[in-house]
Structure 1
Amino acid sequence: MKKISTIIITLFFSTFLLAQTTWKVDPMHSKLTFSTVHLGISDIAGLFKKFEITATTTKTDFSDAVLELSTDEASIDTEVEMRDNHLRSADFFDVE
């Protein structure tokens, strides 16, 4: 009986040691932004309004972390409607 109890307790605690933790970005308190240089003259900044980012790890130091990022390209916003429409076109993202 003592041996069975030891095995059960060991399995129970090993589950916690091998547990995987996943964090998800809170979109209400986060931004996914980008910037680029246009013709070497000016900087263009923008953001994606709809996105998801998750981080999954089994180690506390994040040395085995896996990051996943997905965006809704149609949600791009550079504050210039004509440019945003061009970025959504088949020339770039091909989304509507």
Structure 2
Amino acid sequence: TLLTCLALTWLNPHVYLDTVLLIGSISTQYDPNALWFGLGAVTSSFTFFFSLGYGARLLAPVFARPRAWQVLDVGIGIVMWALAAKLLVGV
């Protein structure tokens, strides 16, 4: 289990794309406040993953019903169509 967790963490290309390239590139805009930017990034990451884990636990009874998955899928579909339309229109 521990090796699987380590592999999912360190062999995941998004680890490097998100932290090194994306956050690293954005952080250069906040050079005088680099410490605060770093602390904010760490805090928001912790909050996101903490909420994701406990939110999944809290919503498990809701998503035990197939209808909840259908509603979620429709919502995701609407968001994807809206993004596609926005890209097509160029707004």
Structure richer in helix, relative to its length:
2
TM-score by shorter chain over 0.5? no
TM superposition score category, shorter chain reference: under 0.3
TM-score (normalised: structure 1): 0.21
